[in-house]
Every structure is written in C-alpha cells, then in structure tokens.
Structure 1
Amino acid sequence: MKLNHITKAITLSLLSLSAAAVADEKKLEVIEVKGTYFNDYKVDDASGAMRGNTSLLETAQSVTVIPETIIYEQLATTLGEVLINDASLSPGSKQRNREVFNSRGFALSSSNGYLRDGHQHWSHYQQPIETLSRVEVIKGPSSVLYGQSAPGGLVNMVTKKPTSSSLLDISADADQNGSTRFMLDAGGNLIENLNYRGVLVKQDVVYDREYANGENRERDRFLGYLAVDYAVTDDLIVNVYYDQTDDKAGLDTGAWLNSNGDVIGDKEYIYDFSWAFTDIRVNNLGTKIDYHLNNDWQMTFGYNEQTFERQRFESAPRKPSDYAVGDSYESRPYDRFDDWQFKTMYFDVKGEFNTGSIRHNLLVGANSLDYYYGQLRVKAASVDYTPGNTEPTRPDISYKTDDTLYTSEYDFYGIYLQDLITFNDTWQVSLGGRFDKQNKEGADNESFVPKVGVLYHPVSDATVYVSYAEGFEPQSSETLNDETDKNHGMKLDAVTSEQLELGLKWQVSDRLMIDTAVFDIEKSGVLVRETLIDDPNFETITTQAGLQRHKGFEASAQGAVTDTLFVMASTMYLDAQYERDSNYEGKTPVDAPKWSASLWSRYEMTEKLALNAGLIYQGERFADADNTITKDAYYRIDLGATFSTLIGGQDTDFRFNIENALDEDYLAGGGVNNVTIGDARTARFEVRVSL
C-alpha cells in the first residue's frame, strides 16, 4: 500500500472534520447567521431508511444522503459518479455498459440492492440520474422493510417530484473528447390542482479507449420522464409517472491484468471487437396514492411496473491464463436478448399516537415483487485473433432464430411492522419485524427478521445509538441437488446476515451534520463444499457453514463549515474476510479496500462565483478471490467552478469541471480480466439557463 496515498486521504478527511469542530467552537460564541448563507449540502432526513421522511437524528442506522446540489456541481452522468461521495461504497466492474458497487465490502445485487422511491428496482444498467432529486445510501442489512437484500445495505434513488411553481431549466454540457449532453427539466401547474415534472435528456459519449480497428467506443442515450400530481381533495393526492431510457453503447469488458497487477499492453486497448454492442430499453410506469385520514394517520399505496429489454451482441474475448502482449486470444461471439419484468407494490399505514406519556410513530405495511426473466441466445463459431491483424467481421447470427426460450419466475411478499417509541426528550427505541415468503419453483422460502435500535439524545441536536438488524437472501433451490454429495437432498435455508452498529450523530448549530459509526456484519449460511477422501460412496460433503465477516469504522461530515465553505466528507476503515469458506477462508473479497475516503467542497468567493475541490481515495484492493493480485491504492483530485449571471434577464450558470486534475494513472473496480481503467484528466463545460 502506498503510505503517502493513505496519509493524504486521511489527512484531508480529518481536516474537514477538524475544521467543522473548530467552526462549531467559534459558532458557540456567535449564534446569529447574517448574509446570504444558504445550506444546500446538509440533509436532515431520509425517506428510505424508515419508509418515511424521518429525521436522521431519529434513525438508528447510518444513512448518507447525497443531494441534487452535489449531483449538479459534479456534472454527474452516472450513478457511480454520484456514489463516489460516500466512502462506504467502492466501485466494482463497469463492463457491458453497467456499474457494480460494493457497500461496506458486500456486492449490491442488480435485483435487490437498489430502490427507486421505495420500490425494488432492477439495476442492470446505468441509472438515469437526471430524474433524481437525491440518492440515499442505507447501510447494513435492511430486509426488515424491503425483503431480500445483501448485508451491505441499499441504495435508494429518490426521483424529482412535480412542482406547483413554474420551472424550466435548459442545459448543455460537453467534454474534451467530444461527448455532449442536452437536458430540459420543466415543472409547474397545468390546471388547478394538477402539477407536473418532466425531464428530457439526449447524450452522446465518446470514450478514450479504442477497438482494434482504431475506433473509439461510443454511447448514445435518450431519457424521457414525466410525473404528475393531482390533488383530488386536500387529503387525497394521486401521483402517476412514466419514464423511458434508450441506451446503446459499444461493449468494453475491461482491461486485463498480469500476475503483478499491471495492465497488459496499452491501457486504451479494448479486447472486444468494434461490432460488439449492448442496446437496452427500460420503461417504468407507476402510481403513488397518498390519503391523509387525519392529522396523525396516513395511508400510502404504490405500484411500479418496470420492463427491461436488452440485446447484447458479444464478441466475448477470453483471457488466456498466461497472456502476454501480442499473443492471440479466443473470442466466442453470440447474440442474446434478455427480457426482465419487475412488478412491485406496497401498502403502508403510518400514524402517531400516545399510550400514556409514551409517543409512538407506527408503520404497518406490506410489499410484493413479481419477477419474470426470459432469454434467447444464439452462438457463433469461436475465432482466434492476434492484435495487429484485421478485425474479424461480425458473424451473421440473430437471437431471433432461437426457437427455445429460457425463463425464470418468482414472486415474494412480506408484511412488516415498525414502531419508533419516544419515552422522553432523551430516550427512544425503534422496533421492527418482517415476515417474508418467496414462491419459486424448487426454491420456496420463508423468513422472519427483526430489527431493534436504542437512541439516546444527550442534547437536542445529538444522538448516540446502538442497533441490531438482520437480513436474508434465499438460496437458488430448496434442497441440495447433487447425488455425489453426502448431503444430497439437504434442505437449504436462506443466507442470513446480522449487523451490530454503534453510532453518533451530531448536528452542529443546525449547519453541519457529523456522523460516526462502528459496525460488525456477519453473513452466514453460505454453502461450503469439501472434498471427501476416504468415503467410497461420495465425492464431496456440502454444509451451510460459510461465514463472511466485515468490521469497520466510518466518519462523515456534511454541511456548512462557515457561511461560504460547504463540505461533504467521509472516510471508512474496513476489515473484511471470509472466516469459514472451503475456497477462500482467511481471504478478503475483491474490491474491498481497508481504507477509503471522499471529499467534495464548495467555497463561495462571491454571490456569483463558487469554486469546488474534491478528493477520491481508494486503498489497496485485491483483484482476484485468491488474493494473489493487488491493485495499487490511488487518489484522484477533482476541481470545478460555477459563475452565475443574468443574460437577457435570465439566470444563467456557466460551469467548468476538471476530473482527475493531476492526471493520476489508476485502476478502478474489476478483476484480472475485466478491470476498469481510471479516466484520464477530463475537462467538462456546461451552460444552464433558468427561464
């Protein structure tokens, strides 16, 4: 590990926290805030952690909320560019025009690691973040409210809502490579009691990396989003929304590493052929109905139907184990069509009531998921290719000629209860539980998970909490099906996870939120297969004895240090390893660094000019499960500036960003045959007009 990288990252993160503390000590002497101060970095509540807009000080769980202001300042175009603002998330592979992330060292699944406005959201593609008002990172097992999910937590994407006031923003941005993005964001009142919000995006991306024929990889994306709110009465509001994403891009399955962790050959070389592509269409259609029974009780119904269709025409290059520059490698082309359909629904009843002097904030609800997947696939003959030769022509195949259809279906539903009990100004207890049932041929499963948290408020703007939560992920089948295994026919229970977390949250003078947490997560029930040597009747014995344990510490600061300096900073230490596993016992999972840090800041020089500076740090990580190949630690410095003025009487912002300003050479997520090359220094310019 490069010690200077760690030192710089930790020092900058701690300086942010120290500056916040110093600012607070000074603030104790001067309570009144003067001038044009407006804090748009700090967020006081989150909707996903407790299924309602609950104060972070009353949430016995670590939650990070990344607001729209920061998304805009960073000119983010992908969810990955947003999530780098939380050090608890580390990037994984970006192959095939999608992004993979780890939370507290555990991979987030495409099927159950992401939420959109509280609905499970299929996320096998780059999310349309232009529709988002903020992103919430919910850390630790969260099955109690959402069902099956990984131990590391969930990412909840909160969409932009209709507005009653008129809104019309038009923007265009471009970078030095020729990439462009045009966006329209509009909202307002259509007729009495009917408000809307609409977003249109057209984006074309040109990447640095090149195919064997010298062409750069490109991407073409369109996004349309429309949401309307209709106030039927003062107590009944109906929301309906629809969005569509069309995204076509050349394929890049990543660079290849040698045994020393170095990239083999040119870092800009793409092993896929130029005719390989992925083409997707994603549609979301849904509704949300809110009905206020009275001032204390509310019912909410939500339904979302997501269809995801993708054609993936692959050249599918294979990395030889001893590959060196100039060697030939095999490609196995195929054409594939995938059809995913997610139908989700929930019904919540929320209310407040007293039992004597004790206050209850109660949630009772149920949610469900209906999942369908279908696949058509046609293969072509494999080809051997030697770099420098003419690229092979695209094979004449089509998935449409496949007369078979592979399908997979399941559904689950769960009922849950949660009660935030307030005894007095000092003590609160959060209790919750969920019963969940999955219906899947050969893999039926039932689970119950609890959650409990105790919150202590030594003063009104601080919380010390301890919480315990469980999660679960059903196995792919009900029983072990292997006649050569001694435990053939054994019933398989769901993989479970447990987390114990101790945290402190401190809202400093209503300006800055400081959050620290110590966590210990265990994932158990993973299948462990051992070879039998002395048993003539069986080859292996499989048990559910696997155990994976991740322990760590997080610290963050978000908000205003002074009237003109704003920060979002975080750091995490992580000790992750397989404690019981037949293959990887004592090893660390891929892309789980011990140290990571992030910082984004804004300094307002004048009312019109603001400067930004940011840091991303990732410590050493393993690129393979055997822990024989290491990727070096790296840090990345980003800079930016915004100048606001009036042109023709219209508010106009000019924004200029430089990503990786020091042109650091680094490897991001991914393994030995799909590693992501960090982007070189990139300049991006945007003009935004508010009409």
Structure 2
Amino acid sequence: MRFKLSTSGMAVMAALTAVPAVAEQMTQDMERMEVTGNRFNDYKTGVASGAMRGDISLMETPQSVTVIPDFVTDEQLATNLSEVLVNDSSVTGGSEKWNRQVFNIRGFELSSGSGYLINGHQQWSHYVQPIETLQQVEVLKGPSSMLYGQSGPGGLINMVTKKPTHDRLLNLGFDTDDNGSTRLQLDAGGSLNEAQSIRYRTVLVKQDSQYWREYQNGDNQERDRWLGYLNLEFDVTDDLLLALRYDHTEDKTGIDRGGWLNDDSQLIGGREIIWDMPWAFTDNTVENLGAELTYHFNSQWQVKTGYNDQQFNRQRLDSAPALAKNSQDPFADGYTISAFDRYDDWQHKTGFVDITGQFTTAGIEHQLLLGGNMLKYYYGQLRVSGTKNQLVMPGSPVARPALDYHDDDTKSESDYKHYGFYLQDLITLNEQWKVLAGVRYDEQKKDGVGNNSYAVSPKFGVIYSPVDYGNFYVNYSKSFTPQGLVNDENDVNYKLNLDPEYGEQYELGTKWELFDGGLLLTGAVFDIKVSNVTVTQQLANVTADGKQSITTQSGEQRHRGMELGAQGRLSEQWFMTGSMMYLDAEYVRDEYDPQQLDGKTPIDAPEWSANVWTRYEMTEDLALNFGAVYVGERFANQTNTISKAGYVRFDMGAAYTMNILGADVSVRMNVKNLFDKDYLDGGSNTDVTVGEGRHLSLALESRF
C-alpha cells in the first residue's frame, strides 16, 4: 500500500523540526570524544562546483546535492557510472541496452542530450561514460534550468574531471574479476617546469570485459575499451590561467538488450540467456576537446570562459529481437529479429562565459554570477535494414546479414542552436539569513516554422542558519526541456515535432555538519510537477506497418517525496556514506489520455530506496568495507500491470596496504551481491537488466 504524501510529509517535517535538538546532543557527545591522529576524511566533500556554477560550499547551497568522491568509488572497484551512482538512492537505473546507461533522478529519466555535464558542459551521453578520469560525481537534485538551460525536472549529473597536480603523481592499477575481465590503469600528473607553472594530468585505461550472460551459441558478451585523457594547465600570468583538456574513448561491445518479462512479471527464459544475435555490436568513438580561460581582475572578481567540442560516432549492427506477435513463449513460438546496420554522428559544441564577484552594499554581502552559455547540436544518421520481423527459434544460428550502412545515400540530419543568459545573486543578510535569487532566459532555434522554443526560468532560495554548523533552506525552481522530433521509425508518431516540457519544484531541506565538520547530514522534502509530459508506450500488438510504440504528450506528472543522507567520519577509524528516498510518483492526465495513465506510476520509480557503504580501519594498513543497496518494488510498464520485486543486495570488501621498494602498494578484494540474490534491475518489461549473482573482484594498485 502506498503512503500519501500528506502523512509522510508530516512525519518528515516532524523529523526535520527535531534535528536541532538531536544535533545539539550529538555535538555535546562529540565534544567529549577525543579524536587522535591526522586521518584525511575522503568520504566527505564540501563543495559541488556544478550546483552554483562556482566554488560555493554545500552549506551555502539552498538545494539538495550529493557529491560522490573518487575515493569511495575506487574502494568499490566501480567500472562504470551506474556503479558510482548507486551511492545516491535518489538515482535509480534504467535500461542498459545498446552499450549505454539510463538513469532517473527523483523518478524522472535523464535525457542523453541535457541530463549530463562534464565540468559544467552538457554532453551527449548516449554511451557508458568513462569514470577513471573523474575526481567526483555531483548529483544536482531538482530543476537546474536557471544555470544550465534545457534540463530535466529531476536534476543533473555533473562529472568533474581530475585536475593537474603541482607535485609528481604516478599511480598504476590492475583489476580483474571471476568472469575473466581485466582493466589496466595509469594515472600520472605533475609539473613540466621548475616554476610549476605548466602542469599536467593524464589517464590511460585498457579494459577487456567478459560478461556473465551468454548468447545462444554459448559465447559470452565481451567489451573492448581503451581511454586516453590529458589535461594541461598553464599559469600564463599570476592572474590568468589556461586549461586544455582532451579525451578519446573507443568502446566496442556485443549487444545485450536485457530480458523480457511476461504478463505475470516473470523473466522469460534463463537469467543468463541473451536474445540478441552474437554478431550484433555497438562500436563507439568519442572525442572531447576543450579549453578554459580564467582571469582574476582582483581577489573579488573573475571572468571564466570555456568551450568544448564533442564528436561522437557510433556504428550499431543490431538484430533488434522482439517477442513474436501474441506470444510470450519464444521457445514454442520463436521470436523475431529485424536486423539493421546504422551509423550515428552526434556533435555537441558548448561554450560559456561566467563573471563572478563578491561585494558589499549597505553592510549586505553579495556573491554575484552573470553569464551566458550556448549549445550547438548536430545529428546525422545512415541506416540500411534487412528483413523485418524475421522469425527465429532459440538456439538456431542466424548468419550475419550482409548489411553495410555505407549503402545508404540519403543521410538523415537534424540540428539546433541553444542560447541562454542568466543572473544569480547569493545575498548574505546577516549570520543567520541568506537569500538566493536568479533568473534565466533561454532560446532554442531549429529550422522550420514553429520549431523555436523560449523559456524564462526563475530560481529562489532562502537559508536560515540557527547555528554555524546547521541550517534550514527552502527553494523554488523551474525546468525547461525541449523535446525535438520523435526519432524512432517504429513509433506511430515518427517525426512528430514535440513541444517542450515545463517543470517546477518546491523543496524544503536541512543540512548539518557534525563532529567538527567531519559528518554531513542532509534531509529534504520536495514536490515536482511537470506539464506537457512526453510518454512513449509499447503497443500491445504491433501494427500492420510494423509500428511497436506510440509517443504522445498530454497532462501532467507529479513526484513528491523526501530524502535523507549522511556522509563522512563517524569516528577516527569509521567512515560511511548512505542515503534513502521515499517517492510518490504518478501521471496526472487530462481528458485526452489514449494510454489511460491517470494515477499510474512511471517505470523504475520505486516508493522506497536506500544505500549504505562503510569503511572501518582495523589498523593503518588494513581496512574493511561493508555495503548494502535496497530498491523497492518498481513497475516495468507504463500501465502498471507488470512489476519488478524489491530487493536488498549486500556487498563487502577488504584492502591491505604495504610499502614495497618505496611504493605504497594496495591489494583489494570485493564481493558484490554477497548472498547471491536473484533480482531485476532497471529497464522495462522488454529490456530489463538482470542483476548479476555473486561477483568477485580483485585489484592491485601502486602509488609511487
């Protein structure tokens, strides 16, 4: 039975009201606890650069933000963004087909074109983002259109890359697992001259992955990836800094679209079976070339400008498996494939100029941001198709079709330009009160009559700090998300020009830094409403012309809930990061509701979710880790007739560090899904990700 927000909201409000008393008691206990040693708190980061487009502390940010540092994800031996974001329960995973990962924040799916940032630049994230180059991952909750323009109502993911170092840095790493996967990493940095005015950071990765699921000929899915990253910084003068960044990713893998669920919510076939053909693959090549220039006028004012050019090319030879019409038993009735070879060319060019300054008027302090950013998007596609809905039987080999996208002489193309200008002021009225006010104007231009979009996005927040280590805040913000064309030729409304989605959020929260700033506790309640919602639903029966889905816009979507989080040091030896979320998400449709979704819950929006990861240092050289992830029951289709059961997954690990010939050498062993729990992860009833059983990983790292 689902709780109503009125009940949960009252409970959360009572809990938030009690925070000062609890915090005061914890502070008194803290003052009696003697903490010795000089250990660095790697679990807690005080700044999220993406939340306010600047280095403003989380305590001065009237917004719910989670920062996941690389220290934690290195401990977890994370290999992709999904394994990083599991540390924030407000983020839930979606489908992982086609060598990409889909995520939802507060129940809203992130767009590949506007939901992901790297150092504040929007990226086309239609692939598995490399995480070895990241210093931290920031989850910005709620609408952020005031600072970034087109973005979803749930929030944004900002990935902050590793910066050059003044001193010499050299880390070598190797990890493997019980499937036979291997990953080699090099992370190096330092100065290139004696004055240390020219610095660098470089990361090289070679990964060969073997997955646990199998194609029907007995082969496992494989992945071959290599990554090169270089970041240079030049102190041109004492006041002028130039930074140049380049990364190149090549990533080829077989396709595993996931499993199918029948009408009884049961997985069809075995957990290990891959329905795609073994010759199907995706081959991605991604390049980013960027530059940033920062000039300090004085200690109070600076201007920063940046540009990034992303080139993303992909070949996808797909078998596109689907259940046969009116059948849920592929072993008896067979299933269909519709092979095609496709080439995608995405180009994202982004730029920004930010002027920031601090000044005082009439005894009132201001932190001002004035700026603008732009995005130029281009997409081109070549595609050739084979036989549609070819019937095949499980276990029967199907030869690779003679398809080559070069044979398509009619390239499908689309592009648009997006511009935005914004003004934000964080006003300190006195020691207890701060006010944030901001506004943004957006304009998106596309060829064709009626294709342009405009929006004004305000943001307002208030922070009240009754003590210097805690505060309460409230904010109001809006989102603006252009939708473009329906780009699926199997959709009934293929090439329909969609209208933008508009969202607004009210959020009330609190933040407390305890144990001398070593532990950050957060809590928030939120109410998000989105109008003009775009919904894509799979049709019960494929149409005569092969249409499999329908995309429409109608009515509203409303998500309400609460979040709690903790991150940092509990004692000298004990560290933890954890969070939980309650979510009440539903569609609210108007009279035109062909899909009858009024009152239904979106896919992959669990009512409850939670996670925890801890580190206990037995000695200076030996550390133990324990973690748990809980995801509640989720619906797997829009009409809520098929669901995925909730699950709890336990993880654990241990690391031992020793000195060998002057190098710090760390040996780590992790066990994911310790008790071999069967579970289903993100995705719908046609592309659900099947959770892996018990999984052992080993890693060796040397720091010179």
TM-score higher than 0.5: yes
Q: SS of the residue aligned with 2:575?
A: strand
List per-residue Cα deviations over 1:449-492 (Å, max 9, x = no partner). Answer: 100001000001111001000011124379xxxxxx9xxxx998
Query: In the alignment, does 2:566 pair up with 1:553?
Result: no
TM-score by length of 1: 0.92
Q: 2:502 aligns with which of 482, 496, 502?
A: 496
Specify the alignment match of 1:99 in structure 2: 101
Specify the alignment match of 1:353 in structure 2: 359
Paired with 2:685 and 2:472, the residues of 1 have a C-alpha distance of 42
Paired with 1:552 and 1:512, the residues of 2 have a C-alpha distance of 24
Paired with 2:535 and 2:628, the residues of 1 have a C-alpha distance of 40
Shift of 1:36: 3.3
Specify the alignment match of 1:569 in structure 2: 578
Specify the alignment match of 2:125 in structure 1: 123
Q: Is the 8 A contact 2:323 2:330 kept in 1?
A: no
Equivalence map 1:261-280=2 (5 Å)? 261-280=265-284
User: Structure 1 415/249 Cα, relative in aligned 2: closer, same or farther at 3 Å?
Assistant: same
Aligned pairs, number: 655
List per-residue Cα deviations over 1:310-352 (Å, max 9, x = no partner). Answer: 0000111112342215131110100000000000000000000
Equivalence map 1:217-232=2 (5 Å)? 217-232=221-236
Specify the alignment match of 1:8 in structure 2: none
Q: Is the 8 A contact 1:23 1:562 kept in 2?
A: no
Paired with 2:33 and 2:177, the residues of 1 have a C-alpha distance of 44
Paired with 1:311 and 1:562, the residues of 2 have a C-alpha distance of 51
Specify the alignment match of 2:398 in structure 1: 392
Paired with 1:275 and 1:563, the residues of 2 have a C-alpha distance of 53
Shift of 1:37: 2.8
Q: Which residue type is aligned with residue 428 of structure 2?
A: T
User: Structure 1 567/543 Cα, relative in aligned 2: closer, same or farther at 3 Å?
Assistant: closer
Paired with 2:699 and 2:505, the residues of 1 have a C-alpha distance of 43
- Name whichever of 27-36 and 518-527 sits farther off: 27-36
User: Structure 1 493/685 Cα, relative in aligned 2: closer, same or farther at 3 Å?
Assistant: closer
Identity between Structure 1 and Structure 2 (%) = 52
Q: Which residue type is aligned with residue 615 of structure 1?
A: A
Q: Is the 8 A contact 2:484 2:498 kept in 1?
A: no
Q: Is the 8 A contact 2:484 2:499 kept in 1?
A: no
Equivalence map 1:510-549=2 (5 Å)? 510-526=517-533, 546-549=555-558
User: Structure 1 405/325 Cα, relative in aligned 2: closer, same or farther at 3 Å?
Assistant: closer
Query: In the alignment, does 2:377 pair up with 1:371?
Result: yes
Q: Is the 8 A contact 1:528 1:546 kept in 2?
A: no
Shift of 1:525: 2.6
Paired with 2:395 and 2:130, the residues of 1 have a C-alpha distance of 37
Q: Is the 8 A contact 1:527 1:546 kept in 2?
A: no
Shift of 1:546: 1.1
Q: SS of the residue aligned with 2:347?
A: strand
Q: Is the 8 A contact 2:210 2:223 kept in 1?
A: yes
Q: 2:218 aligns with which of 202, 207, 214?
A: 214
Specify the alignment match of 1:10 in structure 2: none
Query: In the alignment, does 2:388 pair up with 1:407?
Result: no
Specify the alignment match of 1:535 in structure 2: none
- Name whichever of 615-624 and 253-262 sits farther off: 253-262
- Name whichever of 25-34 and 462-471 sits farther off: 25-34
Shift of 1:267: 1.0
Q: Is the 8 A contact 2:484 2:497 kept in 1?
A: no
Paired with 1:336 and 1:295, the residues of 2 have a C-alpha distance of 53
Paired with 1:311 and 1:591, the residues of 2 have a C-alpha distance of 29
Query: In the alignment, does 2:172 pair up with 1:170?
Result: yes
Q: Is the 8 A contact 1:594 1:620 kept in 2?
A: yes
Specify the alignment match of 1:323 in structure 2: 328
User: Structure 1 28/258 Cα, relative in aligned 2: closer, same or farther at 3 Å?
Assistant: same
Q: 1:332 aligns with which of 338, 354, 368?
A: 338
Specify the alignment match of 2:67 in structure 1: 65
Paired with 2:702 and 2:694, the residues of 1 have a C-alpha distance of 27
Shift of 1:543: 11
Query: In the alignment, does 2:468 pair up with 1:460?
Result: yes
Paired with 1:520 and 1:209, the residues of 2 have a C-alpha distance of 40
Paired with 1:543 and 1:311, the residues of 2 have a C-alpha distance of 29
Specify the alignment match of 2:589 in structure 1: 580
Paired with 1:370 and 1:169, the residues of 2 have a C-alpha distance of 37
Paired with 1:229 and 1:427, the residues of 2 have a C-alpha distance of 38
Equivalence map 1:649-668=2 (5 Å)? 649-668=662-681
Paired with 1:146 and 1:103, the residues of 2 have a C-alpha distance of 17
Equivalence map 1:81-100=2 (5 Å)? 81-100=83-102
Shift of 1:28: 3.4
Give the alignment's Cα RMSD to 1 decimal: 2.3
TM-score by length of 2: 0.90
Equivalence map 1:171-250=2 (5 Å)? 171-191=173-193, 192=195, 193-250=197-254
User: Structure 1 139/273 Cα, relative in aligned 2: closer, same or farther at 3 Å?
Assistant: same
Q: SS of the residue aligned with 1:69?
A: helix
- Structure 1: segments with no counterpart, 5+ residues: 3-13, 479-484, 530-541
Shift of 1:545: 5.6
Q: Is the 8 A contact 2:475 2:506 kept in 1?
A: yes
Paired with 1:621 and 1:573, the residues of 2 have a C-alpha distance of 13
Shift of 1:33: 2.8
- Structure 2: segments with no counterpart, 5+ residues: 3-14, 487-492, 537-550
Q: Is the 8 A contact 1:505 1:513 kept in 2?
A: yes
Q: 2:145 aligns with which of 143, 166, 183?
A: 143
Q: 1:299 aligns with which of 303, 309, 316?
A: 303
Paired with 1:240 and 1:170, the residues of 2 have a C-alpha distance of 24
